[in-house]
């Protein structure tokens, strides 16, 4: 047991949320109540494997230190508790009381998927499943019918559901009766790709004082045919009575170029405040994971979303939520040279800034070595036109736009690496070996201007909320 605790203390991420034990996948029903962020999540409390799905629950005031809360939803005779969203029913339209929180989620039973409700009158701590569940059944023969995202719209409610490779839009006055309003086929990598976990959120446009409704959805490879990596996509548009009118000419694309950020959902705050996205990082294929850890699955670093105008198009900017920036190492690297920084801890963030006339980083290469015997370093290369991230045989590439400039941020936390290039315009996440206490980072400056590298380590007490 002692050995297990030591291993756990060393490999538990400090800045990423992990379940106390057992399995975790998608975030569910993110909502902020009175300054506290609530995160529900797909959870098997009994074993670190997918199945037996409950809604786990945690809460935080800063999105970095989390308090574990009692389990919110347990499987019942209507099925397992799959992914969904939470709304505040201010007027009590569903009959559970004014101001009730209502969770709208999928139940999965013997291969059938249907939507159910549960309600809470104590700020999301305890939940009662609606006695007349389910409220929406799949049409006959429809196998994938899940992950409702509900928003208030006009005097009623709007729901988007993932149905195979389509999104279906429903309207309701009371969250119980749902009427189909429209079907849409958003861009997917293959005609039979399966969409999961749609999200709809207002994202502010930098400097414009406006916001744009943005549809975000995850895509799983088709069953039984050529595979593509999992991905999360976004498309800007407008909410309308028939659901959502996408304006793909205004932009859109892949949120994170890596294969490991998935099932992204947002805390939609207020239209002037940037929403915060979080996604599941599937650790089943993590390098060197072994079978010994009592938990599996982490949430990504939370990311503040905004939109940036580039000509006619909008580009999605993601900025990671980190502790206040207090670097413990600072190195200046002259053009054409390389320096190395000791990595005493498995949790750290590195920020590279350009020292030239503009703040664009022309070319740099960073290698993360997990220890002296490391044969499998992770690497990040920011070249004049591309961002490349590699780890344990996974190679990720993303084009840079000509005008992109700004810092390069790496967040490495006991087995995951998230890269935010060009001040968050190019993002790529991968899994890595855990960096040991003898690890180091080698930074090469391949550009014409000096670079500044700062490194901040995670504190020992990070992760759990302070009493």
Q: Which residues are catalytic?
A: 26
Q: Work out whether 116 is an interface residue with ligand FRU (CB under 6 A).
A: no
What is the distance between the alpha carbons of residues 391 and 379, in angstroms, rounded to a whole number? 7
Q: Work out whether 300 is an interface residue with ligand FRU (CB under 6 A).
A: no
Closer Cβ to ligand FRU, 197 or 203, answer by number: 197
Q: Work out whether 233 is an interface residue with ligand FRU (CB under 6 A).
A: no
Choose, by CB under 6 A, the member of 82, 96, 217, 244 that binds ligand FRU: 82
Q: Work out whether 83 is an interface residue with ligand FRU (CB under 6 A).
A: yes
Please state, in angstroms and as integers, the Cα–Cα distance from residue 64 to each residue in 17, 296, 344, following that order: 8, 19, 21
DSSP state of 145: -
Q: Work out whether 333 is an interface residue with ligand FRU (CB under 6 A).
A: no
Q: Work out whether 42 is an interface residue with ligand FRU (CB under 6 A).
A: yes
Q: Strand 416-421 and strand 426-431: pairing?
A: antiparallel
Q: Work out whether 431 is an interface residue with ligand FRU (CB under 6 A).
A: no
Closer Cβ to ligand FRU, 230 or 345, answer by number: 230
Q: How far is the CB of 196 from ligand FRU (least distance, A)?
A: 4
Q: Work out whether 298 is an interface residue with ligand FRU (CB under 6 A).
A: no
Interface with ligand FRU (CB under 6 A), residue total 12
What is the distance between the alpha carbons of residues 89 and 37, in angstroms, rounded to a whole number? 18
What is the distance between the alpha carbons of residues 108 and 54, in angstroms, rounded to a whole number? 11
Closer Cβ to ligand FRU, 134 or 346, answer by number: 134
Q: Work out whether 211 is an interface residue with ligand FRU (CB under 6 A).
A: no
Closer Cβ to ligand FRU, 17 or 457, answer by number: 17
How many helices, marked H, and strands, marked E, lie in the chain?
A: 1, 36
Closest CA to 210 of 307, 111, 349, 348: 307
Q: How far is the CB of 463 from ligand FRU (least distance, A)?
A: 24
Q: How far is the CB of 214 from ligand FRU (least distance, A)?
A: 20
Q: How far is the CB of 220 from ligand FRU (least distance, A)?
A: 7
Residue 80 C-alpha from the chain's centroid = 22
Residue 363 phi, psi dihedral angles, 5° rounding: -160, 125
Q: How far is the CB of 94 from ligand FRU (least distance, A)?
A: 22
Q: Work out whether 167 is an interface residue with ligand FRU (CB under 6 A).
A: no
Q: Work out whether 26 is an interface residue with ligand FRU (CB under 6 A).
A: yes
Q: Work out whether 199 is an interface residue with ligand FRU (CB under 6 A).
A: no
Q: Strand 261-267 and strand 276-281: pairing?
A: antiparallel
Closer Cβ to ligand FRU, 127 or 420, answer by number: 127
CB atoms within 10 A of CB 110: 5
Q: Work out whether 146 is an interface residue with ligand FRU (CB under 6 A).
A: yes
Choose, by CB under 6 A, the member of 12, 13, 15, 25 that binds ligand FRU: 25
What is the distance between the alpha carbons of residues 465 and 38, in angstroms, rounded to a whole number? 13
Element holding 466 (H helix, E strand): none
Q: How far is the CB of 219 from ligand FRU (least distance, A)?
A: 11
Closer Cβ to ligand FRU, 16 or 108, answer by number: 108
What is the distance between the alpha carbons of residues 144 and 156, in angstroms, rounded to a whole number? 26
Please state, in angstroms and as integers, the Cα–Cα distance from residue 33 to each residue in 29, 61, 99, 192, 407, following that order: 12, 10, 12, 39, 33
Query: Does residue 9 sit in helix, strand or coil?
Result: helix
Choose, by CB under 6 A, the member of 147, 274, 413, 454 that binds ligand FRU: 147
Choose, by CB under 6 A, the member of 100, 118, 197, 368 that binds ligand FRU: 197
Q: How far is the CB of 352 from ligand FRU (least distance, A)?
A: 33
Closest CA to 367 of 350, 344, 353: 350
Closer Cβ to ligand FRU, 277 or 307, answer by number: 277
Q: Work out whether 106 is an interface residue with ligand FRU (CB under 6 A).
A: yes
Question: What residues contact residue 131 under an 8 Å CB cut-off, 6+ apart?
Answer: none
Q: Among residue numbers 258 through 287, which ones bind ligand FRU (CB under 6 A)?
A: 263
Q: Work out whether 100 is an interface residue with ligand FRU (CB under 6 A).
A: no
Q: How far is the CB of 74 from ligand FRU (least distance, A)?
A: 14
Closest CA to 79 of 108, 59, 99: 108
Q: How far is the CB of 176 from ligand FRU (least distance, A)?
A: 21
Whether the Cβ atoms of residue 329 and residue 411 lie closer than 8 Å to each other: no
Closer Cβ to ligand FRU, 82 or 213, answer by number: 82
Q: Work out whether 361 is an interface residue with ligand FRU (CB under 6 A).
A: no
Give the start-end residues of each E strand in 229-328: 231-240, 243-246, 253-254, 261-267, 276-281, 295-296, 298-299, 303-310, 313-320
Q: Could you write out the DSSP letters of every residue in 272-296? A: TSPPEEEEEE--TT-TT--S--SEE
Q: Work out whether 54 is an interface residue with ligand FRU (CB under 6 A).
A: no
Q: Work out whether 422 is an interface residue with ligand FRU (CB under 6 A).
A: no
Question: What residues contact residue 460 under an 8 Å CB cut-off, 6+ apart?
Answer: none
| Positions in the binding site for ligand FRU (CB under 6 A) | 25-26, 42, 53, 82-83, 106, 146-147, 196-197, 263
């Amino acid at each position: 047991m002692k050995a297990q605790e030591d291993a756990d203390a060393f490999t538990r991420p400090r800045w990423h949320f992990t379940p106390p034990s057992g399995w975790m996948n998608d975030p569910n029903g993110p909502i902020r109540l009175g300054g506290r962020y609530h995160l529900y999540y797909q959870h098997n409390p009994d074993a670190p494997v997918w199945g037996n799905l409950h809604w786990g629950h945690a809460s935080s005031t800063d999105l970095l230190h989390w308090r574990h809360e009692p389990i919110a939803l347990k499987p019942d005779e209507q099925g397992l508790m799959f992914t969904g969203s939470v709304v505040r029913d201010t007027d009590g339209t569903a009959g559970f009381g004014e101001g009730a929180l209502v969770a709208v989620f999928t139940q999965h039973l013997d291969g059938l998927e249907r939507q159910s409700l549960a309600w809470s009158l104590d700020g999301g701590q305890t939940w009662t499943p609606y006695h007349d569940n389910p409220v929406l059944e799949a049409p006959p023969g429809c196998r994938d019918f899940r992950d409702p995202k509900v928003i208030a719209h006009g005097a009623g409610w709007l729901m988007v559901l993932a149905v195979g490779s389509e999104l279906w839009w429903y309207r309701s006055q009371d969250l119980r009766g749902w009427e189909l309003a429209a079907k849409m086929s958003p861009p997917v990598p293959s005609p039979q790709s399966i969409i999961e976990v749609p999200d709809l959120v207002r994202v502010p446009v930098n400097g414009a004082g406006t916001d744009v409704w943005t549809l975000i959805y995850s895509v799983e490879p088709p069953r039984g045919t050529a595979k593509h990596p999992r991905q999360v996509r976004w498309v800007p548009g407008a909410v309308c009575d028939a659901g959502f009118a996408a304006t793909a000419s205004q932009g859109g694309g892949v949120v994170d170029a890596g294969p490991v950020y998935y099932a992204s959902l947002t805390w939609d705050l207020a239209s002037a405040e940037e929403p915060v996205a979080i996604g599941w990082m599937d650790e089943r294929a993590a390098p060197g994971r072994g079978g010994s850890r009592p938990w599996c699955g982490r949430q990504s670093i939370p990311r503040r979303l905004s939109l940036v105008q580039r000509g006619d198009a909008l580009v999605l900017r993601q900025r990671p939520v980190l502790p206040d920036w207090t670097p413990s190492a600072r190195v200046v690297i002259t053009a054409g040279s390389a320096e190395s920084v000791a990595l005493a801890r498995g949790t750290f963030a590195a920020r590279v800034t350009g020292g030239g006339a503009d703040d664009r980083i022309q070319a740099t290469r960073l290698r993360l070595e997990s220890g002296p015997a490391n044969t499998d370093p992770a690497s990040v290369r920011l070249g004049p036109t591309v961002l490349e991230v590699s780890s344990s045989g996974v190679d990720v590439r993303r084009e840079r736009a000509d005008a992109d400039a700004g810092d390069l941020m790496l967040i490495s936390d006991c087995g995951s690496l998230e890269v935010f290039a060009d001040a968050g315009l190019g993002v790529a996440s991968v899994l890595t070996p855990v960096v040991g206490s003898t690890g180091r980072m080698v930074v090469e400056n391949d550009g014409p201007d000096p670079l500044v590298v700062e490194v901040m380590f995670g504190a020992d007490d990070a992760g759990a909320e302070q009493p």
